[in-house]
């Protein structure tokens, strides 16, 4: 039996600003069931990086995340600007958030954060030879600290719940696959 995409009977934009784009679709499923409204978020693509320094430690950030109301331990990441290539956006975000550059930056994979509700992709990079070359250039709403941490400690944070950003845990998996640490 073939899976059939839903028919979009109508669509209306509810929110369209710099923080969020949200639409409400009226959809009909393959069995004639109508879903109204079915909300779809349309954020720009995101980038994230597992950046290793010359000592093979991982660059991590700690910053406040209002949605969860927590100080979050995570990877350098950000939103692509309109028309920006993922690799260029990743270089920009890495430099802004940490003042770091990498001698090598390679795409490890592009995934959907949630194909049920989001239209965008998150592009995961692996960086090596990462060094700080300037001060951070954070947005006025950002406050972040960063450090380099041994991979085993980062994975320990994942196990203990201290590294809870699911997309960044997926990035660690992609980085380990890219480096041949897991097959």
For the whole model, what pTM was predicted? Answer: 0.94
Over 90: is that where the pLDDT of 139 sits? no
Over 90: is that where the pLDDT of 183 sits? no
Strand order in the sheet with 7-16: 7-16, 21-28, 34-41
Mean pLDDT of the chain: 96
Question: Residue 55, Cβ neighbours under 10 Å: how many?
Answer: 7
pLDDT, one tens digit per residue, over 86-117 is 999 999 999 999 999 999 999 999 999 999 99
CATH homologous superfamily for the domain 46-178: Nucleoside Triphosphate Pyrophosphohydrolase (3.90.79.10)
> What is the Cα–Cα distance from 15 to 18, expressed in whole angstroms?
10
Residues of the chain with pLDDT > 70, as a percent, come to 100
Residue 146 confidence (pLDDT):
97
pLDDT, one tens digit per residue, over 34-91 is 999 999 999 999 999 999 999 999 999 999 999 999 999 999 999 999 999 999 999 9
Over 80: is that where the pLDDT of 1 sits? no
Would strands 122-128 and 104-111 be described as parallel, antiparallel, or unpaired? antiparallel
Over 90: is that where the pLDDT of 129 sits? yes
Would strands 7-16 and 21-28 be described as parallel, antiparallel, or unpaired? antiparallel
pLDDT, one tens digit per residue, over 2-16 is 999 999 999 999 999
CB 9 within 8 A of CB 34: yes
């Amino acid at each position: 039996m073939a899976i059939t995409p839903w028919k979009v009977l109508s669509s209306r934009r509810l929110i369209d600003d710099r923080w969020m784009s949200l639409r409400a679709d009226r959809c009909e499923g393959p069995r004639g069931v109508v879903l109204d409204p079915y909300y779809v978020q349309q954020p720009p693509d995101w980038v994230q990086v597992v950046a290793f320094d010359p000592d093979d430690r991982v660059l991590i950030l700690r910053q406040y995340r209002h949605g969860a109301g927590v100080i979050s331990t995570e990877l350098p990441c950000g939103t692509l600007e309109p028309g920006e290539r993922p690799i260029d956006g990743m270089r920009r975000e890495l430099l802004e958030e940490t003042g770091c550059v990498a001698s090598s930056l390679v795409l490890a994979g592009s995934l959907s954060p949630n194909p049920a509700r989001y239209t965008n992709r998150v592009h995961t990079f692996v960086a090596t030879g990462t060094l700080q070359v300037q001060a951070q250039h954070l947005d006025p709403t950002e406050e972040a600290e960063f450090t380099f941490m041994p991979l085993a400690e980062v994975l320990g944070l994942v196990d203990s719940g201290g590294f809870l950003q699911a997309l960044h845990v997926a990035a660690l998996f992609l980085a380990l696959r890219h480096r041949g640490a897991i097959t």
